[in-house]
Structure 1
Amino acid sequence: MPIAARVFLVLLLAYFLSYFFRATNAVIAPDLRQDLGLSPAELGLMTSLFYLTFALVQLPLGSLLDRYGPRFVHPALMLVGALGALIFASAENFTVLSLGRALLGIGFAAALMGALKAFSLWFPSTRYASVSSLYVALGASGAIAASSPLAWLKEQIGWRGVFEWGALVIVLVALAVALGVENAPRGLSLPRPERGGGAGVIWQSQVFWRIGALNFVLGGGFLAWQTLWAGDYLYKTRGMGGLEVGALLFAFSLAAVLGYLLSGTLADRLGLPRVLWGAAWGFLLGVLLLALWPAMPLPLLYGAYALMGFLGAFNILCLAQARLAFPTALTGRAVTAINFMGFIGVFLLQWGMGVVLGLFGYGAALGLWTALLALAILGYRPLRTKSL
Structure 2
Amino acid sequence: MTVQGDIEEDARPSDGLTRSTIYLVASCLLLYMLSTFLRNSVGVIAPDVSRELDLNATELSRLVSFFFLSFALCQIPVGVLVDVFGPRRVILGSLAVMLAGCAVFATGTTYVQLAVGRLIIGMGCSSFLMAPLAVYAHRFSPSRFSTMIGIQMGGGMVGMLAATAPLASAAATYGWRSVFWAAAIAGLVVFLAIALSMKDEAPRQPRKKDKIGKLLRSSFAGLGQVIRMPGFAPVMAMQVITVGPSSVILGLWGGPWLHDIYGMELVERGNTLLANGALAALGTFLWGMSDRRFKSYRKPILIGSSVTFLFLLALTFTKIPRGILPFFLAGLGFFGAFGPLVFAYSRSLFPKEYVARGLTLMNTAQIGGVFLHQAMTGYLIDFYEPVMTESGPEYPLQAYQLVFGLLAAEAAIAFLFYWRAREVYPKG
TM-score w.r.t. the length of structure 2 is 0.84
Count residues with an aligned counterpart.
383
The aligned residue for residue 289 of structure 2 is: 265
Q: Distance in 2 between matches of 1:328 and 1:161?
A: 46
Alignment correspondent of 2:411? 373
Query: Given the superposition, is the C-alpha separation of residues 338 and 199 from structure 1 closer, same or farther in structure 2, using an over 3 Å criterion?
Result: same
Once residues 301 and 166 of structure 1 are traced to their aligned partners in structure 2, the CA distance between those partners, rounded to angstroms, is 29
1:322 aligns with 2:346: yes
Instruction: Provide structure 1 residue ranges, at least 5 long, that are not aligned to the other structure.
Output: none
Q: Secondary structure at the match of 1:55?
A: helix
Residues 193-233 of structure 1, C-alpha deviation per residue, up to 9 Å, x if partnerless? 9x899434323224333222211123234323221112222
1:33 paired residue number: 50
Which string of whole-angstrom CA distances, capped at 9 and with x for unpartnered residues, describes residues 313-366 of structure 1? 112222222222234554442222101101111111112111101214112222
Distance 1:322 1:183 in 2: 30
Q: Distance in 2 between matches of 1:129 and 1:303?
A: 28
Please state how far the C-alpha of 1:9 moved relative to its aligned partner: 1.0
Contact persistence 1:217–1:345 (CA under 8 A): yes
| In structure 1, distance between residues paired with 2:203 and 2:136 | 16
SS of 1:313 mapped into structure 2? coil
Q: 1:210 to 1:16 in 2, by over 3 A?
A: same
CA change 1:175–1:188 in 2 (3 A) is closer
Displacement of 1:2 after TM fit? 3.1
Residue aligning to 2:263: 239
User: 1:292 Cα deviation (Å)?
Assistant: 1.0
Quick one: structure 1 residues 148 and 64, their matched pair in 2 at CA, closer, same or farther if it must change by over 3 Å?
A: same
Q: 1:210 to 1:61 in 2, by over 3 A?
A: farther
Question: Corresponding residue for 2:91?
Answer: 74
Matched, 1:203 2:203: no
Equivalent-residue separation in structure 1 for 2:86 and 2:402 (angstroms):
44
Aligned CA RMSD, in angstroms, stands at 2.3
2:30 to 9, 13, 16: 13
Report the Cα distance in structure 2 between the residues aligned to 1:161 and 1:131, rounded to whole angstroms: 33
Separation in 1, partners of 2:200, 2:347: 17
Matched residues in 1 for 2:425 and 2:81: separation? 31
Partner amino acid, structure 2, of 1:277: L
Please point out which of 131, 137, 158 is paired with 1:141: 158
Partner of 2:252: 228
> 1: distance between equivalents of 2:124 and 2:352?
26
2:292 and 2:146 map into 1 onto residues whose CA distance is 7
- How far did residue 20 of structure 1 move? 1.0
Paired-residue identity, %: 31
The answer to whether the Cα contact below 8 Å between 1:143 and 1:253 also exists between their aligned partners in 2 is: yes
SS at match of 2:302: helix
Query: Quick one: which of 290, 298, 303 aligns to 1:278?
Result: 303
Matching residue's letter, 1:334:
G
2:185 to 147, 168, 184: 168
Tell me which protein shows more helix as a share of its residues.
1
Residue 374 (structure 2) pairs with residue 350 (structure 1):
yes
Counterparts of 2:302 and 2:370 in 1: how far apart (Å)? 20
Given residue 7 of structure 1, which amino acid in structure 2 is its aligned partner? L
Could you list the per-position Cα deviations for residues 8-65 of structure 1 after superposition, in whole angstroms to 9, with x for gaps in the alignment? 1111111111111111111211221121111111111100111111111112222332
Aligned to 1:26, the other structure's residue is in SS state coil
Bigger drift between 57-66 and 341-350 goes to 57-66
Counterpart Cα distance in 2 of 1:187 and 1:355: 47
Distance 1:313 1:352 in 2: 23
> What is the TM-score with the length of structure 1 in the denominator?
0.92
Contact (CA 8 Å) 2:345, 2:425: kept in 1 or not?
no
* Structure 1 pair 75–204 and aligned structure 2 pair: CA distance change class (3 A): farther
Question: C-alpha separation between the residues in 2 aligned to 1:356 and 1:206?
Answer: 35
Q: Name the larger-Rg structure.
A: 2
CA displacement at 1:175 relative to structure 2: 3.4
